């Protein structure tokens, strides 16, 4: 395999699988900046060990295994943080994360379908907040509305999406 084709394969795989890996990290590291740092460290390790990745196995599962190790390292070296997981708590979280990973793709598919069902106005609001990463205050200013009204609308949309996802997953289980 040429270096160029190796790079292309890795980039294709990381782009297709980065969301569940990052979601796991963010679920275990509440600070977004720290989670992004750990994700970057994880990707670097994945690249350095890419030759050992077994083609035909789950790239996501492989990445998550590396991410879990990086999370554990971060918790151990984070001296400024007085809160630390015990080994037992960390292992318990790891076990729960395995189930999370198994279901994340189904949830993501359901979320995409539910988002497509939103009204244009609600879709635009979700897009501004999550895709464009605009602050609520900025959205309110752009739309000429109060910050409180945007928070309320976002809460209604999020609640609607959660209910929609649950319904879709429940219907999936029935079939």
List CB contacts of 147: < 8 A, sequence separation 6 or more. 136, 137, 140
Task: Give the HSE-up count for residue 75: Cα atoms under 13 Å, Cβ half-sphere.
Answer: 18
How does pLDDT run across 83-139, given as a tens digit for each residue? 555 666 666 666 666 666 667 777 878 888 999 999 999 999 999 988 888 899 999
Tokens 């996501």 map to which residue? 60
How does pLDDT run across 14-72, given as a tens digit for each residue? 998 898 899 888 888 878 899 999 999 999 999 999 999 998 888 988 999 999 889 88
**Do 67 and 75 form a contact (C-beta atoms < 8 A)?**
no
């Amino acid at each position: 395999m040429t270096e160029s084709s190796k790079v292309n394969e890795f980039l294709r795989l990381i782009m297709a699988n980065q969301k569940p890996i990052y979601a796991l990290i963010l679920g275990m590291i509440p600070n977004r900046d720290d989670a992004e740092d750990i994700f970057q460290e994880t990707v670097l390790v994945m690249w350095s060990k890419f030759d050992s990745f077994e083609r035909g196995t789950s790239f996501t599962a492989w990445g998550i295994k590396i991410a879990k190790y990086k999370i554990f390292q971060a918790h151990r070296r984070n001296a400024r943080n007085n809160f630390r997981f015990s080994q037992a708590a960390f292992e318990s979280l790891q076990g729960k994360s395995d189930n999370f990973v198994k279901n994340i793709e189904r949830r993501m598919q359901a979320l995409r379908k539910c988002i497509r069902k939103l009204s244009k106005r609600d879709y635009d609001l979700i897009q501004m907040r999550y895709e464009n990463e605009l602050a609520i205050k900025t959205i309110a200013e752009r739309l000429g509305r109060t910050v409180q009204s945007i928070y309320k609308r976002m809460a209604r949309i999020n609640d609607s999406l959660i209910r929609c996802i649950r319904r879709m997953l429940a219907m999936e289980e029935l079939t």
